[in-house]
Structure 1
Amino acid sequence: MAGQLAVVQRVASSIPARNCLAGTGLLELVFWLGSENYGFYGYGFFPEYPYEIEGGTILVVRGDYPTIEEKQELDEKTLKETKGKTKEQMKEERARLKEEQKMKAQLAKETKRKEDENMVKARCNPFSDPGYQIQESAALPSVNEALIGYRAAWSLFDELPKEKFGETIYGYMKPLLTEDLMKSMHLECRKVIDEMMRLDLKLLIQKHQADFKSMGRKFPKIKPRKKPKAPPVPKPIIYDKKLIKQTAPVFDLNLVTKPTVKLSDVFGDLNYAAYNFNIRDPNATFPFPAYGDIKDRLRLSCVLGCGIQDGATRRKSVMLLGPERNGKQFLVDAVAGELNAIKIDITPEVFTAIVHKPLKVLTQVFLTAKAFQPTVIFMKNVERVFATKVPPEDKYLKAQSLKTALAKQIKQISADDKIIFIGTCSNPWAARAKPMMNIFEEILIVPRTDYGTLSQFLQTKLLNIRSIPRDYCVQSMAQVLRGYSFGDIITAFEEVMTPERLVRLNVTPLSPGEILEVLLQKGLEPMDVVDFQKYVDFSIQYGPLKTERENYAKINLFREDFYKKEAKKKGEKEKGAAANT
């Protein structure tokens, strides 16, 4: 130790006094050596500094670098584990450890499965039902961390006297502004000091080598530490002429639009009765969602889930499943408008049917989406890409050419990209379900029109007409139009409300049968509950709710049987008590 400090002193005397940064780095090194952290790699020799990827020399100054005792303990442990073992034996041991970790993961998975099974069995008996278990939110740790940081940053200023710490500069408190400026200056100077400290270390090692040579000894070769790999950094997009040339075909094909509608323009009422059906015991049921429920889900999954909100569940792709002409495309426009995003339409009619090289243009579409974020990439009737049998009238679309490339491009969307792919589906039974569902992270069912939603829609539409009385009753019209798709209702409404009919409204009031008559003349029929249940069954079969719904059906069956037995026992007891009296 004394010899090393002597070397440091000789090197320090050779550094010019004007080189203050080098002197600062050398003082930090002397302090480090004096604190018994010397001789790190090959004890008795000067240590290596942490690599810049690891944090640089600031780790040494802060004391975050391992001490000599910790290094010795680690080396002894490694030596003990590898003593007397060949490379083949060590390789076999690593493979065995890897296999053990794999078995532990499988065991944990099996334990979790058994716990879930025991929970289902416990819920089958109403008297042993543990009830709902509250789960901790994934965002709770980040909220607690932000709260602790806020208290640590501001609690001190809340307690300090105002006469000393109340002054402000450009709207900022003076101590905060000073600390912020000092921090930025320190980080800038740290880069220079880091470089100077590494040069000082190089001089020290050279002097140490000269001492060995003067004593007639050979300076040992110390193998440097392996430099850690830098974390992958995504390539930034360079906005130049090359990018303009690559994205130009997407704009030339008129695939890009900028919707202006918002989610507030979507009519929809909530299914208020759903909760009462869900808590029925033992006959719990799950009614269809209403338009208001889907509207809220779109805000969570597609707007916040697009990557604009930290902590929200990220969604790269979402499917809107439902009957034809039921407002699915309008919902996509509302999501794009809410995000203030561009919408790129890759529906086969406007994309693969007219593009000479669809795979190349698809790559350009996703490049355009990345360059002009936030972006909504839209495809209508995505089931045609995965069709089991292509009808003769759809062969010109060449939609199946996108099957592999589309899945690959969606997978390459990074977590930081504010891009979401939304596809609509009206006939999922005509496609290979499994590969189609694999590209989507969530399925949202667009419901059939219900009474509450139609009441809101008709109330807004009719009250915009001045000839309609303000107290016009829309309830009867909403009742007779239930089940018809929004697209058909809007078309029929526009056909009925011609200028001539608007003039006659004061004489002949509008009746619900007028719009219904137009729909019947076109041969349109409302979608009943049985037909819509097919969409619900499909989403459950290929969605995450399949196991849960099966468990609920089992629980309902056992609880119903249990209640019947209890009622029978109770009846027998009452009969026995009546007979005794």
Structure 2
Amino acid sequence: MSQSFRTYNRLWADVQLELSHLLSEEQPAEPPRPEKDRVVFFQRLAMLYVRYIRVFRQLEKAYDLMVHPQKRRVIRALLDAVIGRVLELKNDMVENEFSEYHYLDDILHDLKLSPADLEIPIPRYFRDESSEEVQEQKAMLTDILKMVEVIKNPDALLSKRMSQDEAIKFIQVAERARQRRLRTKLMEESRKINSMYKTKELEKADIELAVICIQKVWRGYIQRKRTRIIREEEMIFLGMSMDPKYQVLCPSEVTAQTIEACTRVTQEAHEEAYQKAVVAVTQQLREIEGPDMSKCMKDQIRQWFIECRNSTGVFPDYPDEEDGGSALIFAEMTPQQLMEEIAAKEEEDSNNKPEGKEKNKEQGKKDKGKNVEEEEEAGLRMLPSAFVSDLELGHKTFVDFWQNRDESQNFSQKHDVELIKEEKRKVVEAEIRLQVDEQLRQELAEWKLSVDKDKGSKTNTKKKKGDKSGKKKKKEKDLTADRTLQSLCQELVEQGLLKQANNVRLQEYLGDYSYLGTTLRQNDIEPMPSLSDVRQILSLYAVLPLGSQVVHEKAPLIKAILLAGPAGVGKKMLVHAVCQETGATLFDLSPMNTAGKYPGKNGLAMMLHMVFKVARLLQPSVIWVDDAEKMFYKKVPKEEKELDPKRLKKDLPKSLKLIKGEDRVLIIGTTKDPLSADIKSLCKMYSKIILIPRPDYGSRYILWKELIKNQGGKVTKALDLSSLTKISDGYTPGQMVQVIQSVVTKRRIQQQASRPLIAAEFVSPLAKIDPVFQDEEEDLKNWYAKTPLGKKRIKAATGKEEEEAATKGKDANKKKKK
């Protein structure tokens, strides 16, 4: 165990070294000049992106299997910052290349990495490390879902009682059928044997010919078998196929899995011990060091009162709790400076609005001047980062404390009590400071009344006026303030608006890496993304922000995503996978699901209010809108007019605007026919539109192989997967699953030993299904080209954007000369 701890400590140290190199590149001594070449700028962004993903993968591994609770907290903060930086770089890449999909084959080749190294890992703590309150809410929701399911389908859980006579009758029928099948099989075998003995008597020459024939067949069979074995050994030697002994878990792998399970148990034990130690140490600090802290603070604050009185002639105003209370007193300032600062703040608060407008105008003029200077020095720059400071802080913590720390005595990797004391001493000090502030604020008021009555009254009136002048912010009306969370959840479940997500993982969305993307773009051909690219995009835009509160608050905010693609490409599966990976609550606001529910304007407002209120309380949450195009129909079909699919067209975008950075709520729309919707309204609602294509050859090969195995089939050499992949061009993963389920039945699985699966068995079921034709995919591609990002991509590909930027720069220079 100690060896594994040293391994993860070494891994952490290596990550910190790589992170220091990245930080030095991102924040050089001299700020870099704007880059004019868009390709060079994108290469720099992409290189940073790939390197940060490598850091992300290593940090996630170290955090997942390290058992020291205090080290894990430092790594966790660093991991959140790295995730946020990856999302920022992804946003910069999209803004630069005007495409959601990027192809980094050349960078992987330069760094000697494989496509697997570019895979975005899903941290385990997204689901495993939730607070007790969240766990209780999830348990409550699970109970409600089960209860409503029992009420709706009571017969499904009740076992039907059967009398003894009926049971005997069923057994007799099944046994007679079994005996009949056996008797039929025996009759067929005896008929074959009898036909063999009915042949005529053979002469000696015929016997010799028969023997020679048998020998030919036998020797041919033996030689083919030997040749096959030699060929398999050669393929194994060349590394073209896997050795069968490695397909079964070896003892070392079993041992590694056992150690990993023990490590997780140790993690839980150490975490529990750490939480108990935190409570005990905090209480101990309150009891032992608390009185001394309180006395010391009071003496210092009283001394400050006297010094201010001696230097200014009056007692000072006690700093407000919002400004930091008495903590503001101990800043490195003289009493006179502190008084001036407090007076300046009061003047700022009491300023009139026109003055503020004048300042804004002056500031606007300054900003215009800055814009002119920026236009003079045209070029591409990286957007400011909200996570680099967190990365620097995490790196500094590691260097200052953990890098050279001697832990030879901490064999079991338990928590350090002294570290807890240092950390919680500040918390206890802040608690005591609040109490001291309340007491001394009253004491100061008494001193003012007794010594400076007139001056004290004036200052009090000023504060009151300042308080009255401040306007109160309007609060949103809570239409369900008198209802509990449980009652709201129960109503939404009964109405079918809150659902249980299917148990699928994002890694089950199979697809191969796109190896020709860079080559096609270099030849001015826009490639269609692979299913692996789609999985990566969902990880970045949905899973990572929803999984971490810190990342969601600071990273580029994505409120709504639209998944567009033909039927059967896995849009619904991706929605459920996002919920499973993050532990999110699933709400269904599809037009067909909300039809007839909560009628009228008031009912619609109540429905949206309940959904978004519960989504915020049970965050992370995913609001799913299936058939999203129906909400923005150009023309509603006659058969759907009664359902009123456009009833949420105005109100849902308004509710979307209320989602803030602290609300981990994501709207995911899915559509298979986006051409029937108004593209402007659809793009205004969904900030990110992800096009999901038909699977390419590599993805289809992996899908056939893995789906057949998951169904219970065996992929042998008799099954020509390459030919099956080739003839299934245009078929979606959903159609492939349908074909496999019809072919690989329970009876067929039992027959595999004597009759292995072949490609011909899958051809006839495939022929009965219509594939997604090239024309349909081209229509989707042309529709995507009309979206805002698609238009920018076309302009960038044709060079029109650079011309527009150049003309804008010339016009700005002309205005400046005038």
Does residue 224 in structure 1 map to residue 224 in structure 2? Answer: no
The one-letter code matched in structure 2 to 1:140 is V
More displaced stretch, 373-382 vs 293-302: 373-382
Candidates 615, 623, 641, aligned match of 1:369: 615
More displaced stretch, 319-328 vs 497-506: 497-506
Q: Output the CA distance in 1 between the equivalents of 2:763 and 2:412.
A: 69
**Would the aligned equivalents of 2:713 and 2:744 in 1 still touch at CA under 8 Å?**
no
Residue 291 of structure 1 and its aligned partner are, at CA, apart by 0.2
2:539 match: 299
The one-letter code matched in structure 1 to 2:529 is P
Structure 2: any 5+ residue segments left out of the alignment?
1-290, 804-818
Candidates 464, 469, 473, aligned match of 2:720: 473
Per-residue CA deviation, residues 268-312 of structure 1 (Å, 9 max, x unaligned), is 11111112333x2xx443311100011011111110122526335
Q: Output the CA distance in 1 between the equivalents of 2:610 and 2:731.
A: 39
1:413 match: 659
More displaced stretch, 458-467 vs 291-300: 458-467
The one-letter code matched in structure 1 to 2:690 is L
Q: Output the CA distance in 2 between the equivalents of 1:328 and 1:387.
A: 20
2:487 match: 245
Q: Output the CA distance in 2 between the equivalents of 1:457 and 1:435.
A: 36
1:502-513 aligned at under 5 Å gives the runs 512=759
Q: Output the CA distance in 2 between the equivalents of 1:399 and 1:108.
A: 49
Which TM-score applies when normalising by structure 2? 0.53
Per-residue CA deviation, residues 135-160 of structure 1 (Å, 9 max, x unaligned), is 775422221122224444557x849x
2:591 match: 348
**Would the aligned equivalents of 2:575 and 2:668 in 1 still touch at CA under 8 Å?**
yes
1:432 match: 678
The one-letter code matched in structure 1 to 2:527 is P
1:508-523 aligned at under 5 Å gives the runs 512=759, 515-522=762-769
Q: Output the CA distance in 1 between the equivalents of 2:327 and 2:475.
A: 23
Per-residue CA deviation, residues 531-578 of structure 1 (Å, 9 max, x unaligned), is 4243334334323353354123218999xxxxxxxxxxxxxxxxxxxx
The one-letter code matched in structure 2 to 1:139 is F
The one-letter code matched in structure 2 to 1:31 is Q
Candidates 559, 564, 579, aligned match of 1:336: 579
Q: Output the CA distance in 2 between the equivalents of 1:196 and 1:541.
A: 66
* CA 1:319–1:182: 2 relative to 1, 3 Å: same
* CA 1:545–1:115: 2 relative to 1, 3 Å: farther
Q: Output the CA distance in 1 between the equivalents of 2:740 and 2:413.
A: 59
Tell me, what secondary structure is at the counterpart of 1:397?
coil
Q: Output the CA distance in 2 between the equivalents of 1:237 and 1:190.
A: 39
1:287 match: 527
**Would the aligned equivalents of 1:284 and 1:556 in 2 still touch at CA under 8 Å?**
no
Residue 233 of structure 1 and its aligned partner are, at CA, apart by 11
Q: Output the CA distance in 1 between the equivalents of 2:754 and 2:293.
A: 93
Candidates 183, 187, 191, aligned match of 2:426: 183
Candidates 58, 63, 74, aligned match of 2:331: 63
More displaced stretch, 177-186 vs 256-265: 177-186
The one-letter code matched in structure 2 to 1:48 is D
2:313 match: 44
1:139 match: 387
**Would the aligned equivalents of 1:21 and 1:196 in 2 still touch at CA under 8 Å?**
no
Tell me, what secondary structure is at the counterpart of 2:784?
helix
**Would the aligned equivalents of 1:247 and 1:367 in 2 still touch at CA under 8 Å?**
no
Q: Output the CA distance in 2 between the equivalents of 1:386 and 1:112.
A: 41
* CA 1:64–1:437: 2 relative to 1, 3 Å: farther
Per-residue CA deviation, residues 196-215 of structure 1 (Å, 9 max, x unaligned), is 211221122112246x8xxx
More displaced stretch, 139-148 vs 64-73: 64-73
Q: Output the CA distance in 2 between the equivalents of 1:467 and 1:307.
A: 37
2:299 match: 27
Q: Output the CA distance in 2 between the equivalents of 1:535 and 1:28.
A: 72
Higher relative contact order (CA 8 A, sep 6+): 2
**Would the aligned equivalents of 1:319 and 1:443 in 2 still touch at CA under 8 Å?**
yes
Q: Output the CA distance in 1 between the equivalents of 2:432 and 2:801.
A: 69
Identity %: 23
Residue 181 of structure 1 and its aligned partner are, at CA, apart by 4.6
**Would the aligned equivalents of 2:520 and 2:526 in 1 still touch at CA under 8 Å?**
yes
Q: Output the CA distance in 2 between the equivalents of 1:21 and 1:285.
A: 70
Q: Output the CA distance in 2 between the equivalents of 1:229 and 1:154.
A: 48
2:789 match: 544
* CA 1:190–1:29: 2 relative to 1, 3 Å: closer
1:97-108 aligned at under 5 Å gives the runs 97-105=359-367
Aligned length: 498
Q: Output the CA distance in 1 between the equivalents of 2:676 and 2:501.
A: 31
Does residue 205 in structure 1 map to residue 448 in structure 2? Answer: yes
2:740 match: 493
Q: Output the CA distance in 2 between the equivalents of 1:251 and 1:243.
A: 12
* CA 1:395–1:29: 2 relative to 1, 3 Å: same
Residue 455 of structure 1 and its aligned partner are, at CA, apart by 0.6
Does residue 554 in structure 1 map to residue 792 in structure 2? Answer: no
Residue 364 of structure 1 and its aligned partner are, at CA, apart by 1.7
* CA 1:361–1:93: 2 relative to 1, 3 Å: closer
Per-residue CA deviation, residues 386-408 of structure 1 (Å, 9 max, x unaligned), is 11210011113222111122112
Q: Output the CA distance in 2 between the equivalents of 1:533 and 1:420.
A: 29
**Would the aligned equivalents of 1:455 and 1:478 in 2 still touch at CA under 8 Å?**
yes
Q: Output the CA distance in 1 between the equivalents of 2:344 and 2:435.
A: 36
Which has the larger share of helix? Answer: 2
1:388 match: 634
More displaced stretch, 68-77 vs 458-467: 68-77
Q: Output the CA distance in 1 between the equivalents of 2:302 and 2:579.
A: 60
* CA 1:466–1:325: 2 relative to 1, 3 Å: closer
Which TM-score applies when normalising by structure 1? 0.73
Q: Output the CA distance in 2 between the equivalents of 1:376 and 1:336.
A: 7
2:517 match: 274
* CA 1:339–1:49: 2 relative to 1, 3 Å: same
Q: Output the CA distance in 1 between the equivalents of 2:383 and 2:292.
A: 57
Q: Output the CA distance in 2 between the equivalents of 1:557 and 1:437.
A: 24
Residue 441 of structure 1 and its aligned partner are, at CA, apart by 2.5
Tell me, what secondary structure is at the counterpart of 1:343?
strand
